[in-house]
A and B are shown apart, each in its own frame.
Chain A
């Protein structure tokens, strides 16, 4: 394998996928631009676009390397990611009570975002290994620490959302790699039994968030404030939205985290139900394309890589929009491609790079 770009490879580039991603980033930049009129807004939008540029480079880099080669080096990436997660506790920056960032020059990197891609590759590497097949209880036993160690580190930051995200990806990959459904049922039973233990390990505010999700009026000015304001923002957008100027919830800062995790509510307030349909159609297209790449890959490794990456993106989209619309508890998960943030953008585009890579090499 070499970095030399094959003509055949270029013919199979999924331009529609790239175009959809670009449109979504365009929505993101436009939303950020209108959120804060004037220089502050253009600066945020510009930085988001700059990260998109950097992310595109990463995408090209990832796509140009054979994903099989990347999977072969997965343990290396995985250990690097774990080191990043561990480094947070030594040199991490604390922002609003959570240590999630590491300063790299003028930038701050969120290792847990970067780790997600390494995690997918690592799981694929494990599940495709000879000893792992067919999937048995023993396979699961060996895989468990690979999931639990990073999950524990991420929960400690604390970043419950990202940690929780690892499990749907795991389950998806198990399903994709041919686990017997009876075994899957057993795991589900075990998880259900382990829930009360997990509850004890959660931090006070994390428990509070879950309780607030179950009963939004529990504390209207504390944790539920975010959900209520988000619902007001989304709902007041009505069918056609309030437009840029009328989006008072967003522009007057009633909406918290409006650049990052709650950006969907900003978009919903400005463009209404119709705008949301367009946006969700974009994501639906992206995800359908990802699953299609997984299904049409002849290579089991490629199939799993595509499935894992698409599952990762799908979970993030569903959990983020679900939480902003009040369907799920509030956990800090960004909306891929929309939420402001360099690490998230890099992760999303690297993930898309993997998808492109699998598509480009599906006939090899």
Chain B
């Protein structure tokens, strides 16, 4: 997924691959943590820590995606929400 300027961003391939499989993953692995490398689902884990350990052992600094299946949007804390609204990365 490119940004508003059409530029590729880190993890675009991994996030697109996740979204392609999201329905299936949510049916079978809801709440689990998955690792994607490029377009491939590498592993599923019970915890973020387990996924992080596995991903770093396999790929070092990455890039790789670690995402909880079915994770809702991040709810920004009040102070961060205020700042985020005024300063996007």
Pair from one complex? no
